[in-house]
């Protein structure tokens, strides 16, 4: 890993993707604004290119990574801006036809330096006819990822992963200092759970949490927005509302070590027997 400075500027882009190229156009405009505001790492939401939900399910503009039009545009954008870019996720089609919800980290020349495929599928029934079955369209990943950057070590996750605390603990114990949670959180669950889940993941691991999110209506779905940056003590240091936005924050990597020194819970795991009937 490259030697890091103590501080850098991160940005969350909050756009709304639908079934046109409008979402990606907005994403590019906001990313340029983020760079003008000094962002060295710019993060976009889950399915930042396209997100539409109708009676036939989820549509996200899947294509092979090597030929993905959104990735080509975003790679060129990273090179143009001279900034690192977290592509929150794109729908990527494998050679066998299966779709993956893939987050990609691009360096400041537009090269893909890390890939993470969302592990936990959003299969829920929220009531009042609001049902989602991500596994109907996507294959889950099976590997956690910590990526090196010149600024910090990133633990890469996507959206619904945030409900699985063990994943974040493992990433922190593997050296992640900043946890990325690009999302298209539903408005229903966002109002109830978004802030508390992200703050909990920061507190439990003594990490920064960077969570760029989509906002608005996507056919039958509505997303919550409220992109967040949370510090290692669990305090919200930047937050968007429910419209197009760019938020920026200064990440002080030394605060990660300080928080983990004050409460060294990552070092305190103990073996224990599982409850009877488990397994």
Catalytic residue among 27, 43, 46, 117: 46
Rounded CA-CA distance 85/103 in Å is 11
Residue 109, classed as helix, strand or coil, is coil
Is 43 a residue of the active site? no
DSSP H helix total and E strand total for the chain: 6, 18
Alpha carbons 14 and 184: distance in angstroms, whole number: 10
Active site residue 80: no
> Which of left, alpha, beta for 269 (phi over 0: left; psi -120 to 50: alpha)?
beta
Residue of 28, 48, 118, 134 with catalytic role: 118
How large is the C-alpha radius of gyration of the chain?
A: 18
Please report where in the chains the tokens 């592509």 appear, as a residue.
87
Size (the chain), residues: 279
Question: 12, 27, 48, 159: which one is catalytic?
Answer: 159
Q: Give me the sheet containing 245-252, strands edge to edge.
A: 112-117, 99-106, 84-93, 41-43, 7-14, 245-252
**Residues labelled catalytic:** 46, 118, 159
């Amino acid at each position: 890993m490259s030697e890091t400075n103590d501080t850098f500027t991160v940005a969350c882009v909050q756009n709304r993707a639908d079934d046109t190229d409008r979402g990606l156009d907005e994403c590019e405009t906001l990313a340029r604004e983020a760079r003008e505001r000094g962002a060295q790492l710019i993060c976009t939401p889950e399915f930042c290119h396209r997100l539409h939900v109708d009676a036939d399910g989820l549509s996200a503009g899947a294509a092979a990574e090597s030929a993905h039009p959104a990735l080509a545009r975003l790679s060129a954008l990273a090179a143009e801006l001279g900034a690192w870019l977290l592509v929150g996720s794109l729908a990527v089609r494998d050679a066998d036809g299966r779709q993956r919800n893939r987050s990609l980290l691009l360096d400041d020349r537009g090269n893909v330096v890390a890939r993470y495929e969302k592990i936990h599928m959003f299969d829920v029934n929220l009531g009042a006819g609001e049902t989602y079955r991500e596994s109907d369209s996507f294959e889950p990943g099976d590997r956690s990822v910590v990526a090196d950057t010149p600024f910090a070590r990133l633990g890469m996750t996507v959206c619904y992963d945030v409900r699985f605390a063990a994943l974040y603990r493992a990433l922190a114990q593997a050296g992640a200092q900043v946890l990325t949670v690009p999302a298209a959180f539903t408005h229903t669950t966002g109002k109830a759970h978004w802030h508390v889940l992200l703050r909990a993941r920061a507190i439990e691991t003594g990490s920064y949490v960077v969570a760029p999110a989509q906002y608005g209506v996507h056919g039958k779905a509505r997303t919550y927005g409220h992109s967040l940056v949370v510090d290692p003590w669990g305090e919200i240091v930047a937050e968007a509302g429910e419209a197009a936005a760019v938020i920026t924050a200064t990440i002080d990597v030394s605060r990660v070590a300080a928080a983990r020194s004050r409460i060294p819970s990552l070092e305190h795991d103990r073996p224990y027997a599982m409850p009877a009937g488990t397994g």
